[in-house]
Each structure stands twice: as C-alpha cells, then as structure tokens.
Amino acid sequence: MERRNEVKQRNRLRENKSKSMSSQSSGGEDSPLADKINRKTLFYLISTLNAAFYPDYDFSNASSQEFSREPSVEARGDGSWKLLYADDLV
C-alpha cells in the first residue's frame, strides 16, 4: 500500500512539473518565447547548417535566440520559374 502511495505521489509531481514547464515554454503572441524554437528543431537546424557550410562556418554554439520563425515563402504558381538540371549547366 505504501508503495502505491509513493508511485502516485511521483506521478503527481511529474504531472505538475510538466504542466509548469509547458506553461513556461508556451508563450502567447506577445511573449518572447513565441519566436524561439524547441531543442529538437534547433538540433536539426544546427546539424543541417554545419553539414552544408562546413568547414567555412561552425554553428555548433548557436543558441535558439539567434534564430526566429519566418513566414513561409510559397512558390509562385505562374510558371515564371524554371528548374535547372545538371545537364543544363554544362
């Protein structure tokens, strides 16, 4: 019986901790946290940038404050752009 109480208490502590963390990390529109990205996205972004620009640039020490979410750019649908293939460049 005592073991069950310990488990219930731990579960309550975890729930309270996760609720407080989610309320801190999710900001409203005016919150400075609204423009920050999560750790997983930051990891993927830094890994991609390091792979693309190595050895000229190193983004390993970049923080989430150095990145922000930008509005998506949609491709123009009027046919005014063209895809280039490697054969076109030779």
pLDDT of amino acid 21: 45
- Do 34 and 65 form a contact (C-beta atoms < 8 A)? no
Q: Give me the pLDDT at residue 46, please.
A: 92
Q: What is the pLDDT of residue 28?
A: 44
Per-residue pLDDT of the chain (90 residues; tens, 9 = 90+): 666 666 666 666 666 554 544 444 444 444 454 456 688 888 999 999 999 998 899 999 988 888 877 777 765 555 555 666 666 555
Instruction: For residues 48 and 10, give the distance between their C-alpha atoms in angstroms, rounded to a whole number.
Output: 38
How confident is the model at residue 7, as a pLDDT? 62
